[in-house]
Structure 1
């Protein structure tokens, strides 16, 4: 294969170019950058100097907002559309910049957790237990993370233990018979650090189907999560970590989307899921200029569905070995290079939904290279490419170019990027057999081609009044060829044509008097499918509203009382097809945290305080006004 042979040549030429180019630059003092590394960027950038679109949720922000799940935290954030079918535990998808849910790559502690069968990650049972940071990187990231990252990356990092060991007990109770309990311990001593947590969350829930669809009885949920992160420092430059997360969930649901009234069944069906993530990264440094990181990972999911019309058991497995090298050639030039081997399996062991079932697997080898030029903390230029060699599809080369410039006089930061990415179809999209009793209807399509996206974005960040006001604007424009979506009339997965998506992401942070702060985020996203067939042409992608707005007003009093009021507004969206739409809506929430004494913190939160009767996804239920209260007990 010619492309494999060309890789060493490209690699050598690129290294030689960087090494030669860096010799004649004048010396200059470089300002110290923020120390927070962005792990989803493979540690090549800090938060301050990244020339792209990124949102980071810190542990402090997560605690202040009091959300219990990742999907609630991400609701309404820049570039994201969160869609849930029913209440807690219901199937939850996230679309980024109008790309499909399978185009958002989800990484948990280095483990790529998008399942091989469905492609898109289900956020329904992912809680915020023991999470230190969440990074949302918008736009194609294929050169570093390969397929599934054409929309962007959501990177979730488990808390690392530090300092004297501390423990905490958390309890919360509230509406719909909901109880949340967790225990946590973390700390470090000598060369060893640890962080452990276990939680149990139960709720009687709401009906997965709304009243208009015949939903009357509640659909409950049980979630058990265990998280652990262990680390050992062999020296100042060498460490090894063992990070794992296990989730066991049982979520009740109703048969189908209520739009199909002839199939309306308000039954007690359930999804029973076991998920296990494991990574064991080893990292070392050679001579202060070369960082090496080797990360083996394991992902395993066993899901069993019990339903009145169909019982299914599916298994997803993935094994990955990732090599990453960050090499500083001189004070201005550095390179990121490495490779990845990934093996994915998807098994449907049979049942009534997929007949005899099926078993598919794929192997992917990849090599990536990125060059980074940084001058005086004012100018950043990057260029990189990635070669993916897949056992199912032809080899694909992707690339990305970034540029960032800071106007020192006004501290104005400008950034621009152009990139190419791709997404391979999931096993279900390619191979799922006809469902028994469905007249031989096959919704999969073995002739599907990978999606290919080309994306451009330009943006700016500006501070005012000594950083008391922070403004950020980003315009993006992308074209996805071979866009995959089910056809409205046949339900068969097709390469419909091109998805054209453009938009503007705006964020404003304001520090107000009297310890008040206000954050606002707005996303305008215009998208349309340039379809091959006239009936599907010029239709928007489904379940992606054009406008989203979120605002949070928070206050801190004497470092004891934290209060927050939040507003989320969403415009209407096309639902299952162009003839079905969900109306826009607005919801209000509030959260309060009070430090009662050294050991006890009291919590109180309310959701949908205006008791808005709204529809997020056609036919499915949403919760009315609901509230919760609890405490956190901390001890040494």
Structure 2
């Protein structure tokens, strides 16, 4: 796989670069806030970042958030059987619970499992996604070892009332729809949206899997979002956000003599609500106050009877102060508070905890130099204090070429499952800690943009299952080394965007010394090409990964694969569009988690409307 596909693809990246010198410039550089908790452009950020906006979401015709994220450099996914099924995201080879997820600034995810339900978040209600690769615990605290993903719900700033809608249908008896209304009057604005999807799905387990149900495992989702805000005459800005996603998932079960029953299904709810106030007491001093709550709920049934309930809640408060000391010199000071709480049918020895974080950041620049320094102290109710820090420096080699270097530490607090799940948890666990070094080079010449980053991360006290204790334990160390390359340009009338990730996620120490970490590919390639021809536009996406192992012992191997998607669009007028796409065109047969099928070739059609 790697020799036949990924190596030529890397050569192709260089070829595109050399043939693009006369091409037209690409779109305006995006803004982001996640990398520093302040507004920056992508080129100003001293980190490897990716921004996915609404235009790209609709251009790619993605049906789910995991579909979008798998095209990001450094992202590898493990999915248990197609749309709506449990999905783990590994960022730069770190663990699936080593990525911090925010929605409109509010931290989300399950306090029991430690992961966010990416598969349930409605892509039709998303305005923008910011992905920051590399440690960010010095700004956000626990979980940000591999990086941060922040999702912003839809916000249309156009004047007047602007409705939007979409209706889709396709393979596997799949149907989808969304509708919404945005508006602005004076200094007030709002965006209200709903979306729904329904699919019969695929048979998650292979037909050869003995004892499992031979049927399709469907998925349904109903979601709604609301964002609104107002700017007062004195400069005070108030805005609020709300998102709720309800899902129903069918699973393959086996008879009662095995681990699950027939007719297994689960109803889930993801909910997040927040309120933010921004004002300037003095001209150089900007204050941001934000509070919110996120919830992750799941009720499971099997054999027609109730089986289990998990209900976790996270309440958060944040006070941030941005002080402009001089031009290109900003001091950021803040305090974060988080309260986690667990309820449900399983009794935990401890069912709540608090964490207080205090952080400071200095952003500066002089001539061709710029830098970012951050320090943070977290006081966790269960396992004490943790100090993290980061230092980054950038140097502009020219007006369009910049180099940067960064070093950062991070930590991950154990989850409630790891600490207290009955018959499994280990309350003596320590937090996982990491040290990361990154060197990068990025350019924005007239023909496009490119970035090259090399990184190395050491994770200590990695939590893994210890057979001698029959419980989780701090038994391992992990070392992850890698290189990411990305390129975007225009050539022969086509828009080209490509990225290549080469990484070595390895276990260090213990009985698995030198083994690859489970479910993480070592080589990943993404290539997108698009072209507009009058009212028509066409495009294609290629995603390829080499082999990986399903277990830390490296006994169960998952083969590499390549998946090719095609898409097309016709604009009836400035407001109405017809879209069509074919996913997995070559009907690749592959698994990203052992024993769980992935969808084969499928066709989908969508009608979209957006008022001007």
TM-score (norm 1): 0.88
- Determine if the alignment matches structure 1 residue 470 to structure 2 residue 449: yes
- Determine if the alignment matches structure 1 residue 526 to structure 2 residue 504: yes
What are the within-5 Å matches in structure 2 for residues 211-610 of structure 1? Answer: 211-214=207-210, 216-235=214-233, 237-255=235-253, 263=258, 267-308=262-303, 311-350=307-346, 356=347, 360-376=351-367, 378-408=368-398, 411-434=400-423, 442=424, 444-464=425-445, 466=446, 468-487=447-466, 492-514=471-493, 516-531=494-509, 533=510, 535-558=511-534, 560-577=535-552, 578-610=554-586
1:68–1:172 CA distance, 2 compared to 1 (3 A)? same
Q: Give distance in 2, aligned partners of 1:122 and 1:98.
A: 19
Q: Give distance in 2, aligned partners of 1:321 and 1:415.
A: 33
Deviations 1:589-618 (A, max 9, x none): 012121112332101011100011111110
**Displacement of 1:548:** 0.5
Partner of 2:119: 124
The alignment partner of 2:66 has SS state of helix
**Displacement of 1:70:** 1.1
The alignment partner of 1:555 has SS state of strand
Q: Give distance in 1, aligned partners of 2:550 and 2:543.
A: 19
**Displacement of 1:266:** 8.3
**Displacement of 1:242:** 1.0
Deviations 1:341-386 (A, max 9, x none): 1100122323xxxxx555511101110001111124x311121100
- Determine if the alignment matches structure 1 residue 99 to structure 2 residue 94: yes
Q: Give distance in 2, aligned partners of 1:236 and 1:87.
A: 50
1:384–1:67 CA distance, 2 compared to 1 (3 A)? same
- Determine if the alignment matches structure 1 residue 628 to structure 2 residue 607: no
Q: State whether residues 570 and 579 of structure 2, in contact with CA within 8 Å, keep that contact through their aligned partners in structure 1.
A: yes
**Runs of 5+ consecutive residues of structure 1 not aligned to the other structure:** 1-32, 351-355, 435-441
Q: Which deviates more, 235-244 or 356-365?
A: 356-365
Say which structure is richer in strand.
2
The alignment partner of 1:267 has SS state of coil
Q: Give distance in 2, aligned partners of 1:488 and 1:254.
A: 28
Q: State whether residues 530 and 539 of structure 2, in contact with CA within 8 Å, keep that contact through their aligned partners in structure 1.
A: yes
- Determine if the alignment matches structure 1 residue 138 to structure 2 residue 114: no
Figure out how many residues of one structure are paired with residues of the other and give that number: 580
Q: Give distance in 1, aligned partners of 2:266 and 2:235.
A: 45
What are the within-5 Å matches in structure 2 for residues 63-212 of structure 1? Answer: 63-163=58-158, 164-212=160-208
Q: Give distance in 2, aligned partners of 1:313 and 1:419.
A: 38
**Runs of 5+ consecutive residues of structure 2 not aligned to the other structure:** 1-27
Q: Give distance in 2, aligned partners of 1:486 and 1:129.
A: 38
Q: Give distance in 2, aligned partners of 1:501 and 1:520.
A: 23
RMSD value over aligned CA atoms? 2.1
The alignment partner of 2:202 has SS state of coil
Q: Give distance in 2, aligned partners of 1:564 and 1:166.
A: 28
The alignment partner of 1:521 has SS state of strand
Q: State whether residues 44 and 336 of structure 1, in contact with CA within 8 Å, keep that contact through their aligned partners in structure 2.
A: no
Q: Give distance in 1, aligned partners of 2:216 and 2:270.
A: 25
**Displacement of 1:586:** 0.6
